[in-house]
Amino acid sequence: MQKPFAITLDVGSSLANHTGSWRTERPVYLSRKPPCNHQCPAGENIQGWLFHAESGNYQQAWRTLVEDNPFPAIMGRVCYHSCEAACNRAQLDLPVGINSVEHFLGDEAITQGWQFPKAASRSGKKVMVVGAGPSGLSAAYQLARLGHAVTVIEAGPLPGGMMRFGIPQYRLPRQVLDAEVQRIVDLGVRIEYNTKVSNVLEAKEAGGFDAVFLAVGAHIAKRAYIPAGDSAKVLDAVSVLRSMEGEDKPLLGRRVVVYGGGNTAIDVARTAKRLGATESIIVYRRNRDKMPAHDFEVEEALQEGVMIKWLSTIKQAGDASITVEKMALDDKGFPQPTGEFETLDADSVVLALGQDVDLSLIEGVPGMAVQDGVVQVNAQMMTGHDGIFAGGDMVPAERNVTVAIGHGKKAARNIDAWLRGVAYVPAPKTEVASFDLLNTWYYSDAPKTVRPILDIIRRQSTFEEVQGGLDEGNALFEARRCLSCGNCFECDNCYGVCPDNAVIKLGPGNGFEFNYDYCKGCGICVSECPCGSIKMVPEDI
């Protein structure tokens, strides 16, 4: 019996082997940016460390993660994981539990005692960082890795900034915070505590520093005018949360009213319950849709017995009660007074209306521009004064730990370049791997792993950590839910489906390439690639 036509032709004929002239388009391999990476304010290579985690190589996963963020155990607890909101897997079932895997890797690193490698050589340059919060410590970490001598000047007695003095222990256990900060100190970073910088130029000159990164947190509570009697107990949220770090806990009483709608208001209200308040009520002038606090935190507070009085504002505070006016939203969604009042019993009122930054250290510094209470910086995070950079709460941006860590990393890279007399050039941006670029029929259902949570009784009466972590088996399963959006994971689909044998395997870890002499541009490889790492381009490109 005669065999198929492929061997009836001369092997050297163009019809048998060379089909490239048939194409109007050709396939190309590319690396698209996963939406999780694109969304992360800290600039983590999330897909990169998930790849190592799903293979069970947790130390390499951790080391890939800390290239960008030195605080995985902290961030696995306090980050609001906007990366998960961007995750393509959410359009299949539920997003990958990125934050829970990060939590696991961070805890594993502490348990195993993994450390940061020290810089191979020293630059001879000295950098002063003002503030030992997330942005300052992030910058110090990256600068130390680049070989610079870093001294962090901290006004308080302990490191962490608002991670310590603004986030309650039931969200962030202090032993976790201390362990991850100590790892940075072990890298060679010096931290001077109880030292307030009153003039940044004088401090820079006195210490012989070559550059400065300003990372002063927003520790000054905003106030609101509320008529109050002499015996009324009106406190600010920052002071309440800060005092939780000392031996003398705040005396809030049995009936506590918190005025505000952000995450700090939620934290104070939940703290009050744990301190023994029978009533912890949040008064907020708008409705839930407009509340800036994250929805999951609101839900957890409600579960713990915190009450929220929507569309209300405090008009007066007395020694044992407050007067509240009901509000109504106008046609533009803004609250307007109604003239209706009610009285609530209250032993104390805590104002959680936002925070400002103490900018006294930069007064009189030439070129320094301040607008709306924050320092203006350029694209390199440098202020108007040469050699002085700023980030975190001090600059115009959303205020959270993840953003602050990203600022520290970005500033460090630009400080390093400035010290070397060059410009830092970030890697060119690539297109984002959107859901429509994936071929998801290859992926099976895999429900998201739910993290354990502390029971309600203990949540109302203790400061034990509320949100638990995954074990190794769950973390491995969760990491394997990643779709590898936009980047080849060598599934061999393109190699197997190509009708022209035009795909060449380059070996494990090296991917593939096309032999365009044989490829006729049919596009089957594109339609069968699960992760969208091949695309068709016009032949003249």
Mean pLDDT across 46-58:
96
- pLDDT of amino acid 248: 83
In angstroms, rounded to a whole number, what is the distance separating the alpha carbons of residues 403 and 317? 36
Q: Which helix (H) or strand (E) holds 112?
A: helix 98-112
Q: Are 114 and 375 in contact (CB under 8 A)?
A: no
Q: Per-residue pLDDT tens for 281-320?
A: 999 999 998 899 999 999 999 999 999 999 999 999 988 9
In angstroms, rounded to a whole number, what is the distance separating the alpha carbons of residues 277 and 283? 16
Share of the chain above pLDDT 90, in %: 85
State whether CATH 3.30.70.20 applies to domain 5-31+488-538: yes
User: Is the CA virtual torsion 37, 40, 44, 49 positive or negative?
Assistant: negative
pLDDT at 535 over 80: yes
In angstroms, rounded to a whole number, what is the distance separating the alpha carbons of residues 171 and 299? 15
Mean pLDDT across 331-343:
92
Q: Per-residue pLDDT tens for 87-146?
A: 999 999 999 999 999 999 999 999 999 999 999 999 999 999 999 999 999 999 999 999
Closest CA to 267 of 304, 297, 310: 297
* Secondary structure of residue 247 in the 3-state scheme: coil
**225-353 CATH, one of 3.50.50.60, 3.40.1710.10, 3.40.50.80, 3.40.190.10:** 3.50.50.60
- Who has greater pLDDT, 330 or 177? 177
* DSSP string covering 61-103: HHHHHTTT-S-HHHHHHH---HHHHH-GGGGTSS---HHHHHH
Mean pLDDT across 245-272:
93
When pLDDT is cut at 50, 70 and 90, the band that residue 332 belongs to is confident
Average pLDDT across the chain, whole number: 92
- pLDDT of amino acid 16: 43
Mean pLDDT across 248-257:
92
Could you check whether 5-31+488-538 and 126-220+356-419 share the same CATH topology? Answer: no
Report the CATH architecture of 126-220+356-419.
Answer: 3-Layer(bba) Sandwich (3.50)
In angstroms, rounded to a whole number, what is the distance separating the alpha carbons of residues 427 and 485? 19
- pLDDT of amino acid 505: 95
In angstroms, rounded to a whole number, what is the distance separating the alpha carbons of residues 533 and 255? 58
pLDDT at 237 over 90: yes
Distances in Å between the Cα of 225 and the Cα atoms of 313, 317, 353, 541 are 12, 11, 12, 65
- Structural tokens at position 318: 């007395």
- pLDDT of amino acid 22: 74
Sorted by where each begins, the domain ranges of the chain are 5-31+488-538, 50-115+440-460+468-479, 126-220+356-419, 225-353
